[in-house]
Structure 1
């Protein structure tokens, strides 16, 4: 059963989140993310993807409620987002000290370099009913006019 979007909640457009980068080239770096300090939500789920063939486009969905931050821990990830008003944006993630915030109402796709490792932090636990996997259903659900 699909979960209806919270019509009272408003979300920002997708945006890049810079994270701290501590260290130096001669000793290496560390980046720390403390959920309530650095993220717009508390982390409920964490997962990562890797060894995705470059010919594969992943994602192709939106969420009713889940907020996400995507981070390219290694390699390159090209993320294309579409907002309900039709605004398209393309983000190039290739540094582990930068995340991409994606709100619930945004259709998104990802394409990876073969060496890419993507970390995903989400605001909710996995629930198949939270996914909108059909593009026309996304447009119908989030239509603003």
Structure 2
């Protein structure tokens, strides 16, 4: 059986990332397969998102992601085809690990929010479900 059929929201987890405090400011350093549960193959970030806009609206077949609110705040709607859950991200030392086979939508961006994404694979259009009904049929 395809493991993507079995993935559920409970397989996604909020990670406390390493935070080193200093009176001059904090730092969070991320390392492949140490603080991040997979080798990072791609990094990108979303910014200058107009109020009321949404991002995401897709699921991945094989790719894993860590989503971080590097600045500001936003919500991540997770959907496994049976259940939905909203995770609020608003700290740069907290990441949301999303496994393959989970639909996600990014919502409610605060002014100036920056969404940092660490991905387990390079970009591949064939890895996406962009149509929700097609995603549901697979699940």
Fold match (TM-score > 0.5): yes
Deviation at 1:132, TM superposition (A): 0.3
Q: In the TM superposition, what is the alpha-carbon distance from 1:43 to its structure 2 partner?
A: 0.5
TM-score (norm: length of structure 2):
0.91
Aligned to 2:100: 104
| 1:3 equivalent in structure 2 | none
| TM-score normalized by the length of structure 1 | 0.87
The aligned counterpart of 1:7 is 2
Is this contact kept in 1: 2:18–2:35, CA < 8 A?
A: no
Q: 2:78, 2:85 within 8 Å by CA — same for their partners in 1?
A: yes
**Structure 2 counterpart of 1:76:** 73
Runs of 4+ off more than 6 Å: none
Structure 1 vs Structure 2 CA RMSD: 1.6
Asked if 2 retains the 8 angstrom alpha-carbon contact of 1:13 and 1:83, the reply is no
What is the distance in 2 between the residues matched to 1:8 and 1:94?
31
The count of residues paired between Structure 1 and Structure 2 equals 135
When you count strand as a share of all residues, which structure comes out higher?
A: 1
Give the secondary-structure state (helix, strand or coil) at the position aligned to 1:29: coil
Unaligned runs of 5+ in 2: none
Where does structure 1 lack aligned partners over 5 or more consecutive residues? 1-5
